[in-house]
Amino acid sequence: MKNEELSIYIENKIKGFTHMPNNYYPDSNEKIWGKPIIGYSRGDDPLYRFIKQDIGGFYWTPLDIFSLKYPNLKVGADELTVISWILPQTEYTKTQQRLERCFPAKNWVKSRIYGEEFNDLLRKYLVNILIEYGYESVAPAIYGGWNYKKSLKYGYASNWSERHVAFVSGLGTFGLCDGLITKVGKAMRCGSIVARIQLKPTLRPYTDYHEYCLYYKYGTCKKCINRCPAGAISVNGHDKIKCRKYQSQIITEHTKKEYNLMSSCCGLCQTQVPCESGIPIKSKG
């Protein structure tokens, strides 16, 4: 297949996978995720090197993780493409989450648990498909060695960030709460794989890391500050320590007691805000 045909093929496979039984909750006929969007970036995009330098030496570039899986292959970063996708929350889940003030809605917690299981299956599915076609591939987030580390500059950080990958791949920019604002909004999950394949990178329709955030662009909004029950969001940004403390000490206990589910996810800052379901527009007046 030609490169353009490959891109269409991959996108159809990702979209088609969301119609499979795995994208439904095990206890209902309700979908977990809505229609995905997909982006591509070059393995040698300078932003990947910048992110590694900015976050810390432990962070993987596409070549780093590809070389870990295929140590005997002599491959240049320019031979790699990163395939990134966004899985938006359904309208029903967002509606339920909007009603909450201190704890996540049950559906939101379920999407974090079962939705990420689906995301992992999608990662494996794409890797296997591309390998069958002769394109070596790896899914960093489920590859051995993926973990959380301590960044000297940012504190809590992972060695492969799906949100940063989506940013490089033209899918969105970051908000005040550190969530990624995309054309389908901030209420979503994202995933990616790295493949030895040549695909046209997605044009980044932005030049700034925070371009879609109303606060950073215009000094307005700040709705996510009021949505945070932990007081972890301010005009200075996202306090990861406060956020994680609330999640681990308060949310985990609540979801276990009320929903009989084990999760520390919160996500209140992702709904009932202008960037919930799309790129926000500055209000008139």
The answer to whether 237 and 178 are in contact (CB under 8 A) is yes
| Residue that has been written with the tokens 């960030």 in this structure | 161
Q: Could you give the residue ranges of the DSSP H alpha helices within 187-262?
A: 214-218, 223-227, 240-246, 252-254
State the Cα–Cα distance between residues 229 and 274, nearest whole angstrom: 18
Which phi-psi region, left, alpha or beta, contains residue 170 (left: φ > 0; alpha: ψ -120 to 50)? left
State the Cα–Cα distance between residues 246 and 188, nearest whole angstrom: 21
Per-residue model confidence as pLDDT tens for the chain (285 residues): 677 789 999 999 999 999 999 999 998 999 999 999 999 999 999 999 999 999 999 999 999 999 999 999 999 999 999 999 999 999 999 999 999 999 999 999 999 999 999 999 999 999 999 999 999 999 999 999 999 998 998 988 999 999 999 999 999 999 999 999 999 999 999 999 999 999 999 999 999 999 999 999 999 999 999 999 999 999 999 999 999 999 999 999 999 999 999 999 999 999 999 999 999 998 754
**Tokens encoding 203:** 């044009």
From 60, 213, 70, 188, select the one nearest 137 (Cα to Cα): 70
| Proportion of the chain in helix, strand, coil states, percent, rounded to 5 | 40, 15, 40
For the chain, domain boundaries: 3-270
**Tokens encoding 197:** 């394949």
pTM value is 0.97
For 106-149, what is the HEC assignment? Answer: HHHHHHHHHHHHHHHHHHHHHHHHHHHCCCCEECHHHCCCCCEE
Beta bridge partners of 180: 174
| Residue that has been written with the tokens 């899986």 in this structure | 69
State the Cα–Cα distance between residues 63 and 77, nearest whole angstrom: 5
Q: Residues 6 or more apart from 183 whose CB is under 8 A from it?
A: 37, 171, 172, 278, 279
